[in-house]
Structure 1
Amino acid sequence: MSNGSREWSADNLKRICSVYVPVKQPLKSAAWWQRNFGLEYAVPFNPAESQAILKLTDGQWLHLVETDGEIDNQFPNKAGYEMFRFTFEVREIERLYDRLQSNGVKVEDLADRESCGINFVFYDLDGNKYDVNEVVHLHRAPEEVEALKARLFHYAN
């Protein structure tokens, strides 16, 4: 290990503070995020910046950046599956899933990813793909997890 390496440790990268998402119309996109997720502006909209900046519950910022270019926020993994860039952590995933479906948001089916929890994928107005996750076994009692999975995935108890 070099001397310079000792100055750094694993806790230097603490969290992601901002995520930048390409959109065609930042204000329209911000309204969509507000309607579907209850996000609020982190700072007032400044048309000169051509972006709307919203704040997630834990303080991270979601920058909705206007682009004239092609929007392609996905990439294929080695098996050819179109990956999303990041996953949102949520609680009560089934309620969010139902709300997004009711609001006409494009969502894929809920998936039981076992130790990773329950997930689903959704798309924003510009076709950007996102993943949503609840590690249910960490946040719910075992009997709640069983009942939820039985209801969502028609598993036998």
Structure 2
Amino acid sequence: MSSNKLQGNGLKCICSVYVPVKDPIKSAHWWQQHFGLDFAVPFNPEEAQAIMKLSDGQWLHLVETKGNIDNQFVNKAGYEMFRLTFEVRQIEVLHDHLLANGVKVDELKDRGSCGINFVFYDLDGNKFDINENVSVQREPEEIDKVKQHLFSHAR
């Protein structure tokens, strides 16, 4: 007789994220231009969504939405939250690329042991967070150079 009791954590990972957009193909090209994402499957206009693939295999579904797009929510402290954080490598390269290409980007934050973060907005105003845990991914001398590069612009 088999046991139906869950052993440990039953959730492995997030395989898909759904993002509301006005124009899936226009949004897909924006994600290609700024983040290098490719289509996970060929675009089918009848599905009213473009499906993009992240580097680790997860899918980003850009779903055509009618009406207002509201992908954020306000937390108890009154801060407008994003729904997800993307993990990256070489955050300084991505940050510079987005700024140089006119993407709306909020200020950088050094969150200590959580890493360096910044918020960006897509074509439809959806708010996303970017993170690199530099203390885990980089050598100490490289961390100082990255922080100097990123935070010297903010001063």
Do both share a fold (TM > 0.5)? yes
How many pairs are equivalent?
Answer: 150
Task: State the Cα deviation string for residues 29-87 of structure 1 (Å, max 9, x = none).
Answer: 00000000000000001111100000000000000000112100000111000000000
- The answer for the alignment partner of 1:145 in structure 2 is 143
What does 1:7-18 align with in structure 2 at a 5 Å threshold? 7-10=6-9, 12-18=10-16
Q: Alpha carbon RMSD of aligned pairs, Å?
A: 1.2
Q: 2:27 aligns with which of 10, 24, 29?
A: 29
User: For the residues of structure 2 that align with 1:152 and 1:53, how far apart are their CA atoms?
Assistant: 32
User: For the residues of structure 2 that align with 1:15 and 1:49, how far apart are their CA atoms?
Assistant: 25
Task: State the Cα deviation string for residues 4-53 of structure 1 (Å, max 9, x = none).
Answer: 4x33421x211100000000000000000000000000000111110000
Q: Which amino acid aligns with 2:8?
A: S
- The answer for the alignment partner of 2:64 in structure 1 is 66
User: 3-state DSSP class of the match of 1:122?
Assistant: strand
Runs of 4+ in 1 over 3 A off after TM superposition: none
Q: Which runs of 5 or more structure 1 residues have no equivalent in the other structure?
A: none
Q: Percent identity?
A: 68
- The answer for the alignment partner of 2:86 in structure 1 is 88
User: 3-state DSSP class of the match of 2:150?
Assistant: helix
Q: Scaled by the length of structure 1, what TM-score is found?
A: 0.92
Q: CA deviation at 1:151?
A: 3.4
User: For the residues of structure 1 that align with 2:94 and 2:73, how far apart are their CA atoms?
Assistant: 25
- The answer for the alignment partner of 1:42 in structure 2 is 40
Alpha-carbon contact 2:92-2:149 (below 8 Å) kept = no
Q: Which amino acid aligns with 1:150?
A: Q
Q: CA deviation at 1:131?
A: 0.1
